[in-house]
């Protein structure tokens, strides 16, 4: 094992891969939110000039990948591997975004945990010596998700207070090998999550379904690494929303750990309460874009020194919900540090 | 890179991970096919005793995983990682199968290429020192796929001659580290595929959509490793069916390479022509179960010494097809050898 496995499930990178560049793109509501000015590109038109919302989501993901690669002065074709996923059936936003790149492509599915999954797998492949430049990406689109999971948009269905709003957004990171001293952020640890299901069947309360998975992965990571929440400048979940955040903090409180001082949720950061988003943002693009618009820049300039990104995914499908199944969830986590060794 | 990258995209395992154990499960039609007697378990009831076809597919995948782990005398909970995927929206067969295992889980989406994707990622994670025991699995079910991609089963839609039949099947492999001398098969090389799309829009002719991807990956793998088709005892695609197989051989013939002597397609092996399956089998479970029922046993006892499994996936969704999009495809390949060093 080369000593890379710590404790139950945490993986320590022997030579921590770097995050060399990143880009976040969003839609109108994301632009109007508190992080709006931090996006690299914003598309006020939900179709992004395309014919369908699905094509628009492809456009978002392709744009994020191209902008991130461009910041490294690399053509996308110079990447060794693309790792990407999204919420759509058969992950079509990612597959169609990878079409034409001529870059080897691995499709991943972790629902809203996908950005952390792609970063984590990419980091392992780089640290293992299998790639030098990997793109990790994820996207979501309010309109594609709404009609797939819930109602036709034109129906105008009421949303419950616990419902979250799928972000129209994408994020992409270019991971490079440890030796790349131009890359300002290091990815030091990975924790792949286990599927948790406490029996929640309400697809409008995904925060409740995902909170136990976030708790499980964060407890594992903290225990395996012998760290405490206060050892991090921030622990960012994505996307528990307001309901899931409250539940996560309650779960930690039972262990006499107060998570609140250090915790924030990407779904809570992306929008503000005046934007009629109920419990907050969600979707693969939420954690992806908050990471790339808001967190990585702060790691790059040292305002944040060490954080955990613990992205959570609700793994149900429209079919499984209609069949009355409960909602399994997973949380994958990565530890990110400012580039200079601490 | 530790010398692991060869040529354009092929990855050489420094210490080739082993395939320690495997299991294949299938349905009635798979039992009645030429490989029927080689399955570890067969469920003549399409519901496998469950309430829905989706639950039945979960049952197939869980059974394959449990049987494979049992052959190693390991509880599933002793695995370091599960890597799995399927055809269903949001990969629910795999997520629900992983629920309750308490094993870290990575969902993958490569359509019918998923078994090779899970083996390839798993092998890299083991060779990179991140895991010691990984389960790679994939499943499909005729009834869940039919109603998702095509028509309600009760509608009794006619199938075109180029259509393939989704296998009701699952396969699971337990990968272990190179030092495991009880494991009879070695995984020596991996080639992650690029997304290819030559503009095929007919979802009833997936073989035509996938053949260019199989050609691209196989050409890359052969070129990167400096090998020729005759250096392998078999090159097994999955699942091009009859139409895609003909196209693949034509593409190689243009390079003056006759693939026919060494090539077979998992979709052609699983069923015989009297079974009314048109162009052959398909689905994530097809390559997965043919590998586990038919190929790995021959590698274990030396009837096969070295093969390529080049699994192909058509990456469209019902929505993308309805929107008139063409069908992107990907092919991921792994090289498998008899355990003894050649």
Q: How far apart are CA A267 and CA B226, in angstroms?
A: 50
Closest CA to B272 of B139, B165, B187, B192: B165
Residue of A90, A120, A325 to mutate for B, most B C-beta atoms under 10 A: A90
Q: What is the pLDDT of residues B22-43, one digit of tens each?
A: 999 999 999 999 999 999 999 9
Whether residues A52 and B88 touch (CB distance < 8 A) is answered with no
Taking the CA atoms of chain B, what radius of gyration do you get in angstroms? 18
Could you tell me what percentage of chain B is helix, strand and coil, using 3-state DSSP and rounding each to the nearest 5? 40, 25, 35
Whether residues B194 and A106 touch (CB distance < 8 A) is answered with no
> And the tokens for B317?
């969704």
Closest CA to B69 of B14, B5, B125, B136: B136
Please report which residue ranges of B142-283 form alpha helices under DSSP H.
142-149, 206-225, 241-254, 266-270
Smallest CA–CA separation between B137 and chain A, in Å? Answer: 14
Q: How far apart are CA B119 and CA B135, in angstroms?
A: 8
Answer whether residue B3 shows pLDDT above 80.
no
Whether residues A121 and B127 touch (CB distance < 8 A) is answered with no
Whether residues A106 and B111 touch (CB distance < 8 A) is answered with no
Residue of B53, B77, B149, B192 to mutate for A, most A C-beta atoms under 10 A: B192
Per-residue model confidence (pLDDT) at position A155: 84
Q: What is the pLDDT of residues B69-120, one digit of tens each?
A: 999 999 999 999 999 999 999 999 999 999 989 999 999 999 999 999 999 9
Search chain B and give the residue with CA nearest A78.
Answer: B8
Q: Is the dihedral of CA A97, A103, A109, A111 positive or negative?
A: negative
Per-residue model confidence (pLDDT) at position A341: 53
| Option in B89, B101, B107 nearest A319 (CB) | B89
Q: Is B134 helix (H, G, I), strand (E, B) or coil?
A: strand
| Option in B89, B106, B195 nearest A89 (CB) | B89
Whether residues A106 and B89 touch (CB distance < 8 A) is answered with no
Whether residues A315 and B92 touch (CB distance < 8 A) is answered with yes
Identify the bridge partners of residue B55 per DSSP, sorted by sequence position. Answer: none
Q: How far apart are CA B336 and CA B122, in angstroms?
A: 14
> And the tokens for A28?
């109108």
Whether residues B319 and A107 touch (CB distance < 8 A) is answered with no
Search chain B and give the residue with CA nearest A145.
Answer: B90
Search chain B and give the residue with CA nearest A97.
Answer: B195
Q: Are strands B281-282 and B306-314 parallel, antiparallel or unpaired?
A: unpaired
Confidence of residue B341 (pLDDT cuts 50, 70, 90): low
Chain B positions touching A99 (Cβ under 8 A) are 195, 197, 328
Q: How many CB pairs under 8 A join A and B?
A: 200
Whether residues A193 and B105 touch (CB distance < 8 A) is answered with yes
Search chain B and give the residue with CA nearest A216.
Answer: B102
Q: What is the pLDDT of residues B200-250, one digit of tens each?
A: 999 888 899 999 999 999 999 999 999 999 999 999 998 999 999 999 999
Whether residues A109 and B85 touch (CB distance < 8 A) is answered with yes
Q: Under the phi-then-psi rule, with left for phi > 0, alpha for psi from -120 to 50, and beta for the rest, what region is B240?
A: alpha
Q: How far apart are CA B66 and CA B62, in angstroms?
A: 6
Q: How far apart are CA A318 and CA B110, in angstroms?
A: 20
| Option in A9, A52, A100 nearest B104 (CB) | A9
Whether residues B129 and A14 touch (CB distance < 8 A) is answered with yes
Per-residue model confidence (pLDDT) at position A339: 84
B287, B266 Cβ separation under 8 angstroms: yes
Taking the CA atoms of chain A, what radius of gyration do you get in angstroms? 18
pLDDT < 50 positions in chain A: 1-2, 342
Chain A positions touching B2 (Cβ under 8 A) are 129
Whether residue B23 is preceded by a cis peptide bond, meaning omega within 30 degrees of 0, is no
Whether residues B91 and A103 touch (CB distance < 8 A) is answered with no
Search chain A and give the residue with CA nearest B176.
Answer: A1
Q: What is the pLDDT of residues A38-81, one digit of tens each?
A: 999 999 999 999 999 999 999 999 999 999 999 999 999 999 99
Whether residues B128 and A132 touch (CB distance < 8 A) is answered with no
CA geometry: angle B208, B202, B193, nearest 5 deg: 45
> And the tokens for A278?
């109920």
Please report which residue ranges of B72-154 form alpha helices under DSSP H.
92-98, 114-127, 142-149
Answer whether residue B2 shows pLDDT above 60.
no
Chain A positions touching B91 (Cβ under 8 A) are 109, 315
Whether residues A2 and B129 touch (CB distance < 8 A) is answered with yes
Whether residues A328 and B99 touch (CB distance < 8 A) is answered with yes
Smallest CA–CA separation between A331 and chain B, in Å? Answer: 10
| Option in B14, B104, B195 nearest A98 (CB) | B195
Chain A positions touching B122 (Cβ under 8 A) are none
Q: How far apart are CA A313 and CA A216, in angstroms?
A: 13
Which run of H or E residues covers position A175?
strand A169-176
ipTM over 0.90: yes
Chain A positions touching B198 (Cβ under 8 A) are none
Q: What is the pLDDT of residues B124-166, one digit of tens each?
A: 999 999 999 999 999 999 999 998 998 888 888 888 888 899 9
Q: Is A19 helix (H, G, I), strand (E, B) or coil?
A: strand
Q: Are strands B18-27 and B185-191 parallel, antiparallel or unpaired?
A: antiparallel
CA torsion angle A138 B189 B228 B164 (round to 10): -50
């Amino acid at each position: 094992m080369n000593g890379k496995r710590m404790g139950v499930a945490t993986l320590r990178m022997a030579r921590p891969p770097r995050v060399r560049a990143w880009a976040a793109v969003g839609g109108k509501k994301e632009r109007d939110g508190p992080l709006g000015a931090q996006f690299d590109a914003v598309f006020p038109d939900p179709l992004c000039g395309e014919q369908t919302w699905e094509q628009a989501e492809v456009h978002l993901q392709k744009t994020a990948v191209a902008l991130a690669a461009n910041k490294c002065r690399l053509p996308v074709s110079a990447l060794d591997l693309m790792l990407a996923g999204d919420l759509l059936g058969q992950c079509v936003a990612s597959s169609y975004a990878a079409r034409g790149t001529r870059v080897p492509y691995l499709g991943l599915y972790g629902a809203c945990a996908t950005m952390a999954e792609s970063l984590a797998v990419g980091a392992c492949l780089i640290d293992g010596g299998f790639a030098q430049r990997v793109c990790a990406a994820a996207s979501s689109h309010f309109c594609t998700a709404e009609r797939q999971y819930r109602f036709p948009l034109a129906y105008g269905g009421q949303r419950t207070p616990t419902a979250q709003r799928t972000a129209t957004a994408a994020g992409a990171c270019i991971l490079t090998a440890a030796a790349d001293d131009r890359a300002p952020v290091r990815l030091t640890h990975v924790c792949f999550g286990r599927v948790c299901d406490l029996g929640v069947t309400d697809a409008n309360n995904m925060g409740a379904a995902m909170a136990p998975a976030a708790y499980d992965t964060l407890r594992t990571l903290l225990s395996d690494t012998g760290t405490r929440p206060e050892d991090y400048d921030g622990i960012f979940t994505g996307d528990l929303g307001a309901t899931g955040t409250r539940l996560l903090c309650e779960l930690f409180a039972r262990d006499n750990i107060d998570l609140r001082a250090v915790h924030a949720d990407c779904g809570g950061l992306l929008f503000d309460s005046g934007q009629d988003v109920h419990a907050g943002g969600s979707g693969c693009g939420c954690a992806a874009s908050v990471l790339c618009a808001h967190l990585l820049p702060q790691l790059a300039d040292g305002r944040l020194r060490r954080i955990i990104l613990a992205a959570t995914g609700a793994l149900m499908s429209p079919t499984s919900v209609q069949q009355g199944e409960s909602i399994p969830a997973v949380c994958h986590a990565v530890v990110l540090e400012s580039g200079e060794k601490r």
